Structure 1
Amino acid sequence: MKENSNLDIVKDNQLKEQANAQVNEFSSVSKEDPFRLHYHVMPPVGLLNDPNGFIYFQGKYHLFFQWNPFATDHSLKYWAHVTSTDLFNWEWQPIALAPSDWFDKDGCYSGSAIEHEDKMYLFYTGNVRAQNGERESYQCLAISEDGIDFKKRGPLFTVPDGYTAHFRDPKVWRECDGWYLVIGAQTVEGSGCVLLYRSMDLINWDQVGEISTQDGDEFGYMWECPDFFYLGDKDVLMFSPQGIPAEGFHYQNIYQTGYLVGGLDRDTGGFCHQPFVELDAGFDFYAPQTTKDIKGRRLLFGWMGLPEEDEAYHPTKEYGWVHAMTLPRELSVKDGRLYQQPVEELIALRENEVTREHITIVNERVQVDSGNGKAFELMLDVQSFVGSSFILNLDGNTSLAFDKIENTLTLFRKSIKTNQQESRTISLTNVVDLQLFVDTSSLELFVNQGAFVFTSRLFDVLSKRDCYLEVDGQMNCSIRSWNLRQVTK
């Protein structure tokens, strides 16, 4: 393993300059898009996907992400880089990684960041397509003194025997006896799993074992973007399995994201866990990554999108960009389940509060204030509900419907592919509260203090949303809403 040669550095600089030129030439076009978001991380041009290297380092949050600056497809991947002190004002930084070396020439794929000896270490997957078209996968390291300028150190290890080249997305963390790494993998038999590695020096890595489902049953053909952390008194393995067939209300998207809660044997990779739980019930959520910040919080960003599914139909592609990050969320574990809640810093975005406390609605439709109707937060606290159903309509084809008889909560939206209404449903016996973050082209819905979350892009309304609550029965509730300031361009 060595640092970049002078020739490598020249090529690296050239690729970064080409990407920067693309931003300078075309970002003015993307800014004209009426669906450009007001308070989410977006690419200035091109395609954004997986969050990478999320870390708190030297007084700032650093968020990297997969980025193709030249097209709205997945043909090439850089690591873009933004920083923030408050989790909503994000500053664009120099490109962290470009696909400039023999071991990452076809893409700098996903990975993670850690701090060690006052330096930032980036671990990522170098993607290579051989002359015969076969994939090669290298797990690589880059190091920075300041968290801005990174020097590649090359590959650390390659694919072990018994696994295919679908071997990617290393996530590294430290425990008292050393460093650990989990990585998404596929067995030669075509089953998804995660491999566990251990190191004492971050350079030499030993394979510990394979983490798969406890019962040994096949669960998809590839586990992407694994993340492992200790929360409360539980070990949590988060990952994005591909190839899970739909089952009732579950697994409705092309690919899934979820987690296992239990206890990991660090010496063997054996994992005693509860059943797999989906992390998000909406249409657009994938490849999340977490970090522990200086306050001790476990924070999460997800990609507000999905690979392959309806990507060609995003209207933002006409303006040269596609996809965004979710809002940052704080995680907690309650009764073996992960809860997600928007970080408290987002309160600073609120303006022009409208409050209706302890109102009673009986078999009627009432208007709900949505402020400017384009970027707002809405909270519905349900003190009691006796009846068959209620609907919170967000104008157009977007609505939330709670059916007390069927014990379901359903999100409806207009499909960007077919222009027909489509839905996602969860089983739910009682709605205690709903917290909605609506942006110009997105919705993030937190149900019952974050026990369930729906994340979705919305492209149905360009004007102010006309919202109302329609109750079949009697509801006692409080409703609060705020405009949310525009902080992104």
Structure 2
Amino acid sequence: GPLYYKGLYHLFYQYNPGSVVPGNKTWAHSVSADLVNWLRLESALDRTEPYDAKGCWSGSVTVLADGRPAILYTGADDVKNQAQCIAFPSNSSDPYLREWTKPSSNPVIRPDGPGLTPNQFRDPTTGWTGPDGQWRIAVGAELDGYSAALLYKSEDFVSWSRVDHPLYSSNSSTMWECPDFFAALPGNTSGLDLSAAIPNRAKHVLKMSLDSCDKYMVGVYDLEADKFVPDNVVDDRRLWLRIDYGNYYASKSFFDAKKGRRIIWGWANESDSSSDDAAKGWAGIQALPRTIWLDSDGSQLLQWPVEEVESLRRNETNHQGIELKKGDMFEIKGTDTLQADVEIEFEPGTMDEADAFDPSWLLNTEKHCREADASAPGGLGPFGLVVLASDDMEEHTAVHFRVYKSKHKHMILMCSDLRRVVPEIRAVHTGLWRLLRI
């Protein structure tokens, strides 16, 4: 649940205070004035009631018409039923929002109605208002054995009723986690506030988490039918657009009223073993916050680290005009290899040597990256960076590129290979890869 409130950025996130393995889900809480330096506060939500005895799971924060924020989250009970619960700040004049109250009306939404699976019903979105002035949210669910973003309406944000049709559903999977729904103007890096009037030419984006990654569709929100209508319906979910092709899941966006942009946050989980996590005392990181917007065609999302990240840059090392031939390597010295931001531009001498692109690779890009790794020769590539390398190269990570000829344009494949990274730095490097990946 990220939001901007009374001059501070807030990030509420899933946290287990007693272990590095999943369980005992609470809402941890940190605040920042600049999205870079963070102060950790006490937990906002803990397991205190029968309806959240097995965890205060994911949800969202919505700023209501009176300026008061409200948390909607999923509570899980002792028999694994999931329901949507609400919490309000005990003192909404406190800019730090230190304390939250769960009203006696909880749970406010139960998995009632035909076709619902009680333990596949979670992660309510941020609320928005329709032309009728009523609040709306979407909840990820399994409906009649298929995935759906269920639509609910309310006049007061407390009493909710299920609409007789989903916001959108698909028979390509069984459950969507962490849905996100927002509006964007094609080609405009400014964000849109769902609580304000949305321009007619705006598009809407429906994001969902499945298959260990975050995918999305671009389309229009049909106000009359109260449905999301994708511009393109792709039956094979492996071909759905992705927010990120790296280690990135359960992302959540919010409108930053301070700078008029939409910011998205995602979670990078661990590739270490549980024993490695226990040894270092933590597991999982938040990726860098990113500004996100639609391209000029309105067909896909673009993103970039928030501008505040620039404040972390110092001690620049600059090299230009380096000519590399096949097998050449140029070492960049004078940098902190555990924390570096790399901007690099490659200029091939010719594109004629590029191999033909096989569209079937899009069905499993990770598999193709493993097969076409940095040691496999190609027409135009691989070329790129070797990072976190030991002197003898026994430990290193390759971030490499290949260029392919497609039917009407060239395609670029970007891969990273973590198989030669030592466990102690793999988690740190996952965060670094987020930055390089963007």
TM over 0.5: yes
CA contact (8 A) 1:226 1:239 kept: yes
Pick closer, same or farther for the CA change 1:263–1:370 going to 2, 3 Å.
Answer: farther
Pick closer, same or farther for the CA change 1:240–1:383 going to 2, 3 Å.
Answer: same
Letter in 2 for 1:400: V
SS of 1:354's partner is coil
Deviation of 1:315 (Å): 2.3
Deviation of 1:397 (Å): 3.4
Q: Distance in 2 between matches of 1:442 and 1:314?
A: 20
Q: 1:293 aligns with which of 208, 233, 256?
A: 256
Deviation of 1:267 (Å): 4.8
User: Percent identity of the aligned residues?
Assistant: 29
Q: Pairwise mapping of residues 154-233 of structure 1 onto structure 2 (< 5 A)?
A: 154-161=106-113, 162-165=115-118, 166-175=120-129, 177-187=133-143, 189-208=144-163, 209-213=165-169, 216=170, 218-232=171-185, 233=202
Q: Which moved more, 1:438-447 or 1:286-295?
A: 438-447
Give yes or no for the alignment of 1:377 onto 2:382: no
Deviation of 1:72 (Å): 1.6
Q: Distance in 2 between matches of 1:94 and 1:237?
A: 32
Pick closer, same or farther for the CA change 1:311–1:77 going to 2, 3 Å.
Answer: farther
RMSD between superposed Cα atoms in Å: 2.5
Q: Distance in 2 between matches of 1:320 and 1:403?
A: 38
Q: Which has the higher contact order (CA 8 A, sep 6+)?
A: 1
SS of 2:311's partner is helix
Letter in 2 for 1:198: K
Q: Distance in 2 between matches of 1:360 and 1:415?
A: 27
SS of 1:64's partner is strand
Letter in 2 for 1:258: K
Deviation of 1:332 (Å): 1.1
Q: Pairwise mapping of residues 88-487 of structure 1 onto structure 2 (< 5 A)?
A: 88-116=36-64, 117-130=66-79, 135-144=80-89, 145=92, 146=94, 147-153=97-103, 154-161=106-113, 162-165=115-118, 166-175=120-129, 177-187=133-143, 189-208=144-163, 209-213=165-169, 216=170, 218-232=171-185, 233-242=202-211, 255-273=212-230, 274=232, 275=234, 276-282=240-246, 284-294=247-257, 295-305=259-269, 312-313=273-274, 315-334=276-295, 335=297, 336-363=299-326, 364-369=328-333, 371-386=335-350, 388-389=380-381, 390-394=383-387, 395=389, 396-405=395-404, 407=411, 408-414=413-419, 439=428, 442-445=431-434, 453=437
Pick closer, same or farther for the CA change 1:315–1:267 going to 2, 3 Å.
Answer: farther
Q: Which stretches in structure 2 are left out of the alignment for 5+ residues?
A: 186-201, 235-239, 354-379, 390-394, 406-410
Report what 2:18 is aligned to.
70
SS of 1:348's partner is helix
CA contact (8 A) 1:340 1:446 kept: no
Pick closer, same or farther for the CA change 1:121–1:182 going to 2, 3 Å.
Answer: same
When normalised by structure 2's length, the TM-score is: 0.75
Deviation of 1:297 (Å): 0.6
Q: What do the CA deviations read for 1:39-80 (whole angstroms, capped 9, x no partner)?
A: xxxxxxxxxxxxxx1000111000011111111222211100
Deviation of 1:220 (Å): 1.7
Deviation of 1:288 (Å): 0.2
SS of 1:164's partner is strand
Deviation of 1:370 (Å): 6.0
Report what 1:86 is aligned to.
34
Q: What do the CA deviations read for 1:241-284 (whole angstroms, capped 9, x no partner)?
A: 24xxxxxxxxxxxx2211111012245443221343111111x2
Deviation of 1:203 (Å): 1.2
Q: Distance in 2 between matches of 1:445 and 1:72?
A: 22
Letter in 2 for 1:259: Y
Q: Distance in 1 between matches of 2:176 and 2:134?
A: 25
Q: Distance in 2 between matches of 1:370 and 1:384?
A: 27
CA contact (8 A) 1:172 1:179 kept: no
Deviation of 1:121 (Å): 0.7
SS of 2:310's partner is helix
Q: What do the CA deviations read for 1:192-233 (whole angstroms, capped 9, x no partner)?
A: 1111122221112222221345xx5x2222100001000112
Q: Which stretches in structure 1 are left out of the alignment for 5+ residues?
A: 1-52, 243-254, 420-437, 448-452, 455-489
Q: Which moved more, 1:58-67 or 1:394-403?
A: 394-403
Pick closer, same or farther for the CA change 1:195–1:268 going to 2, 3 Å.
Answer: farther
Letter in 2 for 1:231: A
CA contact (8 A) 2:121 2:142 kept: yes
Q: Distance in 1 between matches of 2:421 and 2:100?
A: 39
Letter in 2 for 1:151: T
When normalised by structure 1's length, the TM-score is: 0.68
CA contact (8 A) 2:125 2:139 kept: yes
SS of 2:98's partner is coil
SS of 1:443's partner is helix
Report what 1:56 is aligned to.
4
CA contact (8 A) 1:143 1:152 kept: yes
Q: Distance in 1 between matches of 2:48 and 2:242?
A: 36
Q: How many residues align?
A: 355
Q: What do the CA deviations read for 1:309-336 (whole angstroms, capped 9, x no partner)?
A: x563462321321111000000011131
Deviation of 1:391 (Å): 2.9
Letter in 1 for 2:183: Y
SS of 1:202's partner is coil
Q: Distance in 1 between matches of 2:154 and 2:2?
A: 21
Letter in 2 for 1:239: M
Pick closer, same or farther for the CA change 1:357–1:391 going to 2, 3 Å.
Answer: closer
Q: Distance in 1 between matches of 2:69 and 2:334?
A: 42
Q: Distance in 2 between matches of 1:224 and 1:277?
A: 16
Deviation of 1:360 (Å): 3.4
Deviation of 1:136 (Å): 1.1
Deviation of 1:340 (Å): 1.4
Deviation of 1:414 (Å): 1.5
